Amino acid sequence: MDKQSSPAVQAEGRNFPCEGCGANLRFHIGAQSLKCEFCAAVKVIDLDPSAAVREQDFGAILARVAKFRTNAAEPAIHTREVTCENCGGGVQFVGALASHECAYCGTAIQVDDAYTADDRIPV
């Protein structure tokens, strides 16, 4: 069964080990960097300064989302279940949720294709 037809999308999260102590680094949105919760080490995320920022027509996106929602018989809430690769527990992703922790073992899980749905605002 391919990834698109599978009822449970397999998450392919990435771990970034701390260079100081080996623990998993976590993204800190305020600092826009990866930080270690144990030894306070910081890993700076190098962004390409020449990367282009592309402006999008917000009105056109809203129209596309409205068209998608009116074509549906009932407003659908996009739900999927992902199997935790660490413990095998089922983790449910609802709506635009793209990352979560397993309720059973605390492993971070990320859905790689969360933003490919038609009702998402493109990046």
1-55 pLDDT, tens per residue? 344 433 344 445 678 899 999 899 998 888 889 999 999 999 998 878 888 878 8
User: For residue 66, which phi and psi values (nearest 5 degrees)?
Assistant: -65, -40
Length of the chain measured in residues:
123
Q: Looking at this protein, which amino acid is placed at residue 97?
A: L
CA 112 to chain centroid, in Å, comes to: 6
Q: Could you tell me the pTM of the whole model?
A: 0.35
CA gap 25, 8 in Å, rounded: 27
Q: Would you state the pLDDT for residue 4? A: 43
DSSP H or E run through 69:
helix 58-71
